[in-house]
Amino acid sequence: APPPAERKRPAPKPQSEKADSLSIALPLDSLNNNDASPSAPFSSLLPHRHRERHHHTPLSHTTLALFDHRNRSVGEGAMSMSSGGPSAPQRQPSMGRRNISRAITMRTDGYSGEEEGPIIESELVPSSLAPIVPILRAANEIEDENPRVAYLCRFTAFEKAHTMDPNSSGRGVRQFKTYLLHRLEKDEKDTQRRLASTDAKEIQRFYEHYCKKYLEEGLQTRKPDEMARYYQIASVLYDVLKTVTPDKPNSEYDQYAKGVEKEKASFSHYNILPLNISGPTQPVMEIPEIKAAVALLRKINNLPTPRPDTTNGPQGIDDGPIVRDLLDWLWQTFGFQKGNVENQKEHLILLLANIDMRGSGNVHQGERQNHMIQRDTVDHLMKKVFQNYISWCRYLHLESNIKIPHDASTQQPELLYIGLYLLIWGEASNVRFMPECLCYIFHHMARDLYDIISDRREESFDPPFRREGSDDAFLQLVIQPIYNVIHNEATMSKRGTVSHSKWRNYDDLNEYFWSKKCFKQLGWPMDPASDFFADPTKTKNDIERHDHSMSRRRMSKTNFVEVRTFLHLFRSFDRMWAFFILAFQAMVIIAWSPSGSLSAIFEPAVFRNVMTIFITAAFLNFLQATLEIVLNWKAWRSLVCSQMIRHVLKFVVAIGWLIILPVTYSSSIQNPTGLIKFFSNWIGNFQSQSIYNFAVALYMLPNIFSALFFIFLPMRRALERSNSRIVRFLLWWTQPKLYVARGMYEDTCSLLK
């Protein structure tokens, strides 16, 4: 799956997290204690009032017995290895008992296993059990204040870890479970309840006490990073409370949890702008342009409300997410990831402030205090953001879906379209390398957005993208299918060892969206049965057997398939080669003339022989047309009909000139003519001229027009960049219809230099 939206720098300093890092300093004889019952030690870990429920949880006695049996096997294997194995010589047992510590194979940086002091469980968690790290960190934070609640937190972490990996198949998982199990056995005996007689009441009272002490008192005096840590611990305590008391819903604690979740967003992570941080205002937020941009984005009046997803978020807590601005509204409407929304929110605010600051110029300081974002700022940003999208719509002769409602009196619709495009780009991952694919996605989502904001009859609506119990609907439903196509094509390349004709890169996939056929074949929502999503690693029989009656084949390259051959040296530089060959032929003819001087070209016989260079040019043109067909043969089936006709007609015309010029030249030998007579009698003696001269003039006519357009480059650039059907028809013979690389010429002054 594509990577999620970029993580943001948190306000508090995070503790280091190392992938697959584990440190164990346990005596092996504790793993080989055969006298202890495998289920008895863990049953004592449970609160007394929940031991009957324990038989119905994933951590059953049978599971723990199997877990303890596997630990004994690991310990016995380690003991046999430490003694040299079965073939090693037997050592005499020592008189006194000695605890043997196993060598550490995985550890965090700077920890060798020999240091004294407590081990921090959150730093030992394997990467596959990363979700339990906040629980263990919370246990370490409240260890001194209430050891019993810290024990319950570790118990919840152990239960969650066993649910995530019941077979302990992940790297370092079994060792970590063993360590945590021994820690729970020890804490069960050493910790005492301080606030109540049962664990359920203990966690309830401590949760209430913690919220009042750390979240209500001294809110204005504490730093944001402190408050962020306290809110994180409060969220963990509520999860532990639900684990310990699953069958007793309490509205009072649910109300606490609801307030915690809402206020927690006020201390969320940020990059540059602390938009949701409570407490003293940061200096960056006092800049007038920043304040004006934030105020502009927070005008969300008159927008319909998306119906919340009742399956997302903890039950009993979430009455609907908080919508503070336009990008939060887009988040709930189209199912973007929250981290992506926060990133692009800062991005849009800084863009607006930067453009507005440059456009304002030297404004008096007093006027800046009541500053407002100008309409020209938003219009300028729209032109910059949607430049490629507007060009793409014009190329395909589509009507843009950026439509402003007639009753819109503010800049709210423009900001919604800009925010939508930035959110699509922010979550696109590798699809960013396919800009026209992003235009295709935005084109349809902009239409959905216009339908929502223009229909004010209903106060709420169903979001277009939603996955049950998930907050990444856009990523899973739109981006991931396209990303899978890119991944499969990259797999087909076998690290670049396979021929380029057998797999598609970013450009080949992107060129699929240069034609209107993508609207018919792909559709919206995108059809997973489309040829675009066909798996290239499957054979045709596998696809037919999987899809039964559905006929589907993998899309090939669109406009070009690379064929590696030295003939590309002539095909790509045909005009240079033609100039060299024709100049060499003319110089040889002049050099082998009777006089051998350059003035011999004015002699009728020599001039007639020099005129044969046009026959050579016709042959080179025929060779070029042949190479165009041969080297594009692998992409032939994916070419549009007009391109096929163009290649065939060029080949036929090249054959025609290759026949006409030699035939007419043979007839011109009977009527020799000199260079002076040729130019002086061109108009007066039209009937007496050789037919070969007329054939040459007709053959050179396209090149003459090309030379004229080369001199007047602005006219040529405007014609090539035009999307008019008439202009495209006139230029159809000279170049194929492509979206990029049109009008890429230097100006006239640069050419003269």
57 part of a folded domain: no
CA distance 301 to 164: 44
The full DSSP string for 676-716 is HHHHHTTTTTGGGS-HHHHHHHHHHHHHHHHHHHHHSHHHH
Lowest mean pLDDT: which of 538-552, 559-573, 597-611, 615-629? 538-552
Note whether 299 and 448 are same-domain residues: yes
Instruction: pLDDT band for 348, please (50, 70, 90 cuts).
Output: very high
Angle (CA) 37-38-40 rounded to 5° is 60
607 part of a folded domain: yes
Alpha carbon dihedral 296, 301, 306, 312, in 10-degree steps, equals 60
Note whether 218 and 330 are same-domain residues: no
Query: Which residue type is seen at 130?
Result: A
Note whether 685 and 725 are same-domain residues: no
Q: What mean pLDDT value characterizes the chain? A: 75
Note whether 139 and 258 are same-domain residues: yes
Each as own residue / partner, the long-range contacts of residues 499-508 (CB below 8 Å, 24 or more positions apart, any chain) are: 499/564, 500/561, 500/562, 500/564, 501/557, 501/561, 501/562, 501/563, 501/634, 503/536, 504/536, 504/555, 504/556, 504/557, 506/430, 506/433, 506/434, 508/557, 508/558
27 phi/psi in degrees, rounded to 5: -70, 135
Of the candidates 608, 614, 604, which has an alpha carbon nearest to the alpha carbon of residue 581?
Answer: 614
Across the range 548-574, mean pLDDT stands at: 68
Across the range 506-535, mean pLDDT stands at: 89
CA distance 393 to 659: 44
Across the range 269-293, mean pLDDT stands at: 80
643 part of a folded domain: yes
CA distance 295 to 298: 5
Across the range 655-672, mean pLDDT stands at: 78
Of the candidates 304, 309, 339, which has an alpha carbon nearest to the alpha carbon of residue 321?
Answer: 309
The full DSSP string for 618-630 is HHHHHHHHHHHHH
Note whether 699 and 665 are same-domain residues: yes
Of the candidates 585, 597, 609, which has an alpha carbon nearest to the alpha carbon of residue 673?
Answer: 609
DSSP H or E run through 305: strand 305-306
CA distance 442 to 401: 9
683 part of a folded domain: yes
Q: Is the pLDDT of residue 678 over 60?
A: no
CA distance 27 to 102: 7
- Bigger pLDDT: 346 vs 68: 346
The total of other beta-carbon atoms located within 10 Å of residue 262's CB is 14
CA distance 402 to 143: 56
Instruction: pLDDT band for 587, please (50, 70, 90 cuts).
Output: very high
- Say what percent of the chain tops pLDDT 90: 28
Measured CA distances, 125 to 128, 137, 347, 570 (Å): 8, 11, 35, 62
Residues 6+ apart with CB under 8 A from 43: 51, 54, 61
Note whether 669 and 736 are same-domain residues: no
Structural domain that includes position 189: 121-267
The confidence score (pLDDT) of residue 209 equals: 87
Note whether 262 and 289 are same-domain residues: no
Note whether 216 and 301 are same-domain residues: no
Both tokens assigned to 232: 């994180």
> pTM of the entire structure?
0.67
Note whether 702 and 716 are same-domain residues: no
272 part of a folded domain: no
The confidence score (pLDDT) of residue 449 equals: 93
Note whether 659 and 747 are same-domain residues: no
Across the range 344-364, mean pLDDT stands at: 86
Residue 367 burial (C-beta neighbours within 10 Å; 0-12, 13-18, 19+)? exposed
The confidence score (pLDDT) of residue 513 equals: 93
Do 349 and 295 form a contact (C-beta atoms < 8 A)? no
CA distance 355 to 359: 6
The confidence score (pLDDT) of residue 320 equals: 58
Measured CA distances, 208 to 102, 158, 225, 251, 714 (Å): 43, 24, 22, 13, 75
Do 153 and 136 form a contact (C-beta atoms < 8 A)? yes
| Partners of residue 305 on adjacent β-strands | 460
254 part of a folded domain: yes
Do 257 and 317 form a contact (C-beta atoms < 8 A)? yes
CA distance 551 to 569: 40
Express each pLDDT in 114-159 by its tens digit.
Answer: 334 455 665 678 888 888 999 999 999 999 999 999 999 999 999 9
The residue among 202, 235, 267 that closes a domain is 267
CA distance 443 to 400: 7
50 part of a folded domain: no
CA distance 117 to 397: 72
The confidence score (pLDDT) of residue 668 equals: 65
442 part of a folded domain: yes
Q: Is the pLDDT of residue 685 over 70?
A: no
The number of folded domains in the chain is 4
Express each pLDDT in 63-120 by its tens digit.
Answer: 333 344 444 443 433 333 333 333 333 333 333 443 433 333 333 333 333 334 455 6
Q: Tokens 């006020």 — which residue?
A: 266
Do 123 and 20 form a contact (C-beta atoms < 8 A)? no
CA distance 343 to 271: 8
Note whether 739 and 658 are same-domain residues: no
Do 732 and 643 form a contact (C-beta atoms < 8 A)? no
Do 176 and 125 form a contact (C-beta atoms < 8 A)? yes
Of the candidates 40, 45, 36, which has an alpha carbon nearest to the alpha carbon of residue 61?
Answer: 40
Note whether 146 and 224 are same-domain residues: yes
Express each pLDDT in 421-460 by its tens digit.
Answer: 999 999 998 999 999 999 999 999 999 999 998 876 667 8
The residue among 437, 470, 503 that closes a domain is 470
| Partners of residue 101 on adjacent β-strands | 27
